[in-house]
Structures are given as C-alpha cells and as structure tokens.
C-alpha cells in the first residue's frame, strides 16, 4: 500500500485536496486502500501465471525467471510473450501489454505532476495566476532530465534511479511525513479535526492511529532504510560500478531533498501572510465556533482562546486549520 499509493510523494494529498470538506475521510481512505490491494492481488495472479508458463516452457525453476521492476516489464514479459503458441499471438499480446504500460506511465506522470504543481499553485500568488506556465515548466524540466534515459545506456540509469528512489527517497519522505503529522502538527489535532468536519473517528480507533503514526510507521520505515543501506554497502546494487551508483543514485538522493526544502522557502507564502489578508473586520468568537478564512479555509477555536480574524496582527490568530 505504501509504494502502490505513493504515500510519500504527495499524490494522495493532492487528490484529496479536491474533496469537499464534509467528505467521509475515513471511509474514503479504506476504499482507496482496499481497492489498491485488490488490484495488486489480481495483478499478482496474472504475473505469476505468466512466470509459471515461461518457466515451464523454458524448463527452468520459477525462482530463476522471477524478477521485479524494469527487468520484469522489459525483459521477462517480452520473453514470455515470445513463447505463446498461435499465429500472431506473441505480437498481439506484446502490443496490448506495452500499450497498457504506456497508459499507466502517462497516468502516473499526471499524478506526480499534479502533486508537485499543486503545492506551488496553492502557496504562491504568481503560480496561482499562471497554472499552465507552472505545469509546462515542471514537465519541460522532467523532459530535460529524462533525455539521458533515452540513450543507449539509459536503461541502466533508469534502473539505478528506480532503486534509489524506492529504497531511500520514498522511505525518508514517508518517515518525515509521519513524524511531522504525528509530532509537529500533532496527530491528536488531526483526529479532532476529522471528528469535527466529517463526524468520523480516525479509523474508528483514534488512539491506535495516533500511536501508529507517531511510533510504528516511522520505526518501520527507518528500519527498512537502514536495512537497504547496509545491504547496498555490503554488495553494490545489481553489480553496478560505484561511480555509477554515486552519480545516478546517491547524488540525486541528496539533491532532491535539498531542492524540496530550498525552493518552498523562497517561493511559498507564509501562512501568517495569508491570514493577514483575510479581511478588515475583526470578530471575537467563542470556543468551538467555526470560522471561514482565506480561500474558504475553515477553522475552529482551540481551548478558550479568543480569535481575532482579519487584522494585520496575524499573531493573535490561534486556530486549528482544517
């Protein structure tokens, strides 16, 4: 579920931001997670059926042909289709498979583009006024970065990037997201906000979800990161030379997080500036009453504090953003 839904790259956050505020967050979460798992199970049956057929026709054991990632898609599957009997069957199945793969790639690219561009459009005034320019700039940058992968040795570059992004970047992103949500936001506030807006408890067991997001999830992701790191140190990934792993693996792993933190600090607006522009009319509201802020954002008064909205003194605003 973690890798299938790309939980650490912001795709689900970007998609869910278009939902109504009163939508059933918990029910939607279960529907998406179960749907993803069921799709993976069906795909698993198809993959192992093809691998079993390939192993049987080749006269080898299944573990000798079992593979994953790009090797499975671009080497094992084409070799399996070539063993199909019937006139035109190998060509027909190859066309169907790679056409499906192209559509899946376009769909995945659209989700990643939306996740990144949504952050810029929501947090920068210039980007809000020119969303097509933002999308074009990001897509053109991705096009330039991917030219190397279309070269003769591009497959190896793509394989290294795929390994390091899934083995390190996604795990670090997921662990940091869990720590921020669990400790800095914190998680108790999210449980309270879900209860107020959707009238649902977080996963119907809010105390278990709180402990999971604070302790269980970061611990598991950090342990996986350390395991991958020790494994790659003991044996270089896929037998690649160290210079290739450093140039196309470790260097992007260091550059991408730096850019992810540096770019928003220069381009994104501060939340206090957004609340300072809410209006010129000050209102004093009792505890528990809902208010509407910038761009229709809803907030609730926390504890027994009084809230002053719409003044330039943004420091007096103490709210829980929903």
The model's pLDDT over 82-106, given as tens digits with 9 standing for 90+, comes to 888 888 889 999 999 999 999 988 9
Higher local confidence (pLDDT), 290 or 128: 128
If you average pLDDT over each of 14-23, 66-75, 158-167, 201-210, which comes out highest?
158-167
Q: Give the contacts of 147 (CB within 8 A, at least 6 positions apart).
A: none
Question: d(Cα 31, Cα 27) in Å, to the nearest integer?
Answer: 6
Query: 285: which strand partners?
Result: 307
- What local confidence, expressed as pLDDT, does residue 203 receive? 58
Query: 301: which strand partners?
Result: 319
319-321 β-sheet, strand order: 290-292, 298-301, 319-321
- Band of pLDDT at residue 227, cut at 50, 70 and 90: very high
Contact assessment for residue 51 and residue 62, using Cβ atoms and an 8 Å cutoff: yes
- Do 254 and 161 lie in a common domain? yes
Contact assessment for residue 279 and residue 310, using Cβ atoms and an 8 Å cutoff: yes
- Do 264 and 153 lie in a common domain? yes
- Do 164 and 76 lie in a common domain? no
Of 146, 177, 199, which residue is a domain's last? 146
Question: What 3-state class would DSSP assign to 235?
Answer: coil
Inform me whether the pLDDT recorded for 81 exceeds 80: yes
- Do 131 and 155 lie in a common domain? no
Backbone Cα Rg of the chain: 24
- Do 12 and 128 lie in a common domain? yes
Domain enclosing residue 240, as ranges? 149-269
Question: What 3-state class would DSSP assign to 320?
Answer: strand
State the total domains in the chain: 3
- Do 141 and 156 lie in a common domain? no
- Do 94 and 154 lie in a common domain? no
Question: d(Cα 292, Cα 306) in Å, to the nearest integer?
Answer: 15
Q: Give the contacts of 114 (CB within 8 A, at least 6 positions apart).
A: 11, 14, 15
Of 123, 146, 169, which residue is a domain's last? 146
Higher local confidence (pLDDT), 202 or 238: 238
- Do 39 and 62 lie in a common domain? yes
Inform me whether the pLDDT recorded for 152 exceeds 80: yes
Six-digit token pair at 241? 């030379």
- Do 238 and 293 lie in a common domain? no
- Do 65 and 80 lie in a common domain? yes
- Do 136 and 153 lie in a common domain? no
- Do 128 and 181 lie in a common domain? no
- Nearest Cα to Cα of residue 320 among 303, 310, 17, 311: 303
Of 113, 146, 179, which residue is a domain's last? 146
The model carries a pTM of 0.74
Contact assessment for residue 290 and residue 312, using Cβ atoms and an 8 Å cutoff: no
- What local confidence, expressed as pLDDT, does residue 269 receive? 57
């Amino acid at each position: 579920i973690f890798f299938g839904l790309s939980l650490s790259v912001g795709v689900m956050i970007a998609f869910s931001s278009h939902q109504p505020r009163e939508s059933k967050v918990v029910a939607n979460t279960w529907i998406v997670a179960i749907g993803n798992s069921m799709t993976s199970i069906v795909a698993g049956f198809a993959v192992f059926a093809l691998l079993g057929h390939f192993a049987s026709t080749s006269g080898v054991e299944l573990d000798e042909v079992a593979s994953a990632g790009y090797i499975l898609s671009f080497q094992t599957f084409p070799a399996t289709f070539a063993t199909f009997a019937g006139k035109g069957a190998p060509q027909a199945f190859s066309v169907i498979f790679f056409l499906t793969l192209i559509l899946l790639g376009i769909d995945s690219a659209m989700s990643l583009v939306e996740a990144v561009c949504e952050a810029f459009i929501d947090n920068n005034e210039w980007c809000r006024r020119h969303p097509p320019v933002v999308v074009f700039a990001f897509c053109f940058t991705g096009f330039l970065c991917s030219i190397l992968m279309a070269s003769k040795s591009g497959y190896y570059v793509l394989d290294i990037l795929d390994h390091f992004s899934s083995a390190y970047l996604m795990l670090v992103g997921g662990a940091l997201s869990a720590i921020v949500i669990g400790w800095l936001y914190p998680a108790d506030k999210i449980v309270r906000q879900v209860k107020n807006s959707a009238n649902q408890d977080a996963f119907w067991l809010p105390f278990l979800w709180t402990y999971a997001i604070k302790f269980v999830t970061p611990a598991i992701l950090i342990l996986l990161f350390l395991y991958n790191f020790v494994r790659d140190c003991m044996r270089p990934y896929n037998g690649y030379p160290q210079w290739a792993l450093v140039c196309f693996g470790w260097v992007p792993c260091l550059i991408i997080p730096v850019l992810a933190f540096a770019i928003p600090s220069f381009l994104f607006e501060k939340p206090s500036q957004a609340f300072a522009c809410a209006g010129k009319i000050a209102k004093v509201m009792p505890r528990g009453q809902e208010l509407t802020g910038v761009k229709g954002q809803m907030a609730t008064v926390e504890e027994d504090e009084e809230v002053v909205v719409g003044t330039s003194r943004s420091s007096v605003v103490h709210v829980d953003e929903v």
